[in-house]
Amino acid sequence: MVFPMKLVLIIPSFGRKEILHRLLMHLEGQRRPPDEVIVTAPDASHVPCYQPETYRLTHVYGARGLCAQRNRALALVEGRFDVITFFDDDFIPADDYILEAVRAFEAQPDYAVLMGNVLHDGARDAGLTFDQGCAILRRAERGPPLDHPPVEHPGAYGCNMSIRAALIGPRRFDERLVLYGWQEDIDFTSQLRGHGRIMRLAHLVGVHLGFKSGRVSGVRFGYSQIVNPIYLARKGTMPVRFASGLIARNVLSNLIRSIRPEPHVDRRGRLRGNLLGATHLLIGRIEPEYILKL
């Protein structure tokens, strides 16, 4: 079957070979398969041996870091696709996800960026196994259809986001947001607001497992929680009110929960990173890449 819009799926990965393998297998069930899937990783040791039957799979290797890995893929696909979709390697889409994303772009020329309805976000708790994520999707399939009105957002959540490729142009993810990135999705997609709408669609469904391996340390992440929003506010891609609220919520959460931290979160490490980031802000040092020295 020939589809009018071509879609490429980009999946950055680091240290999650087994879960990436499960995701690549799961994508074979898409009712409308992607025209190509590009997995970006530091080297071949992070990628499983898998030969898909329903889509073309390409591997791209190079320096570690979410933004750098996404940018390598963008350079490879430039001018070849109508829609560029990004999944985290621990995001599981419903079987009609790609079909519905393409339909939405075809039906709504003013849509610039789409993100889906995350039924469960394991990044906010202890996380899920792949089988648990699939079970959540199956339960949703048996329930009534999700038919809530589209919701407009200032930026997209990067675990699953699709972009009208023609609007990207020379834009790239900011590689000063090193390693895990954090808020790189808001930074990138908010730049497209002047070219179209950034929408969350209820019927575009998936589950984010929040798999814990491959993540940065608590101290590094805590530092990014302070410095990255300020950096993006100064850059003009994150509203000051949004940045200040984000910082306040994270610091308060780390402070309260450091008394009795969850086993899956290094709250005390994050709090130390928060304090270091605040100290750097006081002396005018706004360097997201400083986490490489921690």
Provide, rounded to the nearest whole percent, the portion of the chain with pLDDT above 90: 88
DSSP state of 88: -
Residues sharing a CB contact under 8 Å with residue 72, sequence separation 6 or more, in sequence order:
40, 60, 62
How many other CB atoms are there within 10 angstroms of residue 126's CB atom?
11
> Is there a contact between 135 and 207 (Cβ–Cβ < 8 Å)?
no
DSSP state of 215: P
Residue 144: per-residue pLDDT: 81
How many other CB atoms are there within 10 angstroms of residue 172's CB atom?
15
Residue 125: per-residue pLDDT: 86
Q: Does the pLDDT of residue 239 top 60, yes or no?
A: yes
Strand ranges in the chain using DSSP code E only, listed in sequence order: 7-12, 36-41, 56-61, 83-87, 91-93, 111-121, 151-152, 160-164, 197-208
φ, ψ for residue 127, nearest 5 deg: 90, 170
Tens digits of per-residue pLDDT, 158-216? 999 999 999 999 999 999 999 989 999 999 999 999 999 999 999 999 999 998 765 56
Q: How far is residue 132's CA from residue 135's CA, in Å, rounded to a whole number?
A: 5
Tens digits of per-residue pLDDT, 76-130? 998 999 999 999 999 999 999 999 999 999 999 999 999 999 999 998 888 999 9
Q: How far is residue 34's CA from residue 162's CA, in Å, rounded to a whole number?
A: 12
Nearest to 164 by CA among 3, 6, 2: 6
Point out which residues pair with 187 in neighbouring strands.
none
pTM of the shown model: 0.94
Nearest to 43 by CA among 13, 23, 72: 13
> Is there a contact between 20 and 11 (Cβ–Cβ < 8 Å)?
yes
Distance of CA 87 to the CA centre of its chain: 6
Helix 267-282 × helix 240-257 angle, to 10° = 140
What proportions of the chain, in percent to the nearest 5, are helix, strand and coil?
Answer: 45, 20, 40
> Is there a contact between 174 and 236 (Cβ–Cβ < 8 Å)?
no
Nearest to 287 by CA among 223, 237, 219, 215: 223
Residue 143: per-residue pLDDT: 84
Distances (CA, A) of 43 to 40, 103, 176: 8, 35, 21
Residue 124: per-residue pLDDT: 87
Q: How far is residue 290's CA from residue 287's CA, in Å, rounded to a whole number?
A: 5
Tens digits of per-residue pLDDT, 214-228? 556 899 999 999 999
DSSP state of 15: S
Question: Mind listing the domains of the chain with CATH numbers?
Answer: 7-208 (3.90.550.10), 218-284 (no CATH)
> Is there a contact between 46 and 69 (Cβ–Cβ < 8 Å)?
no
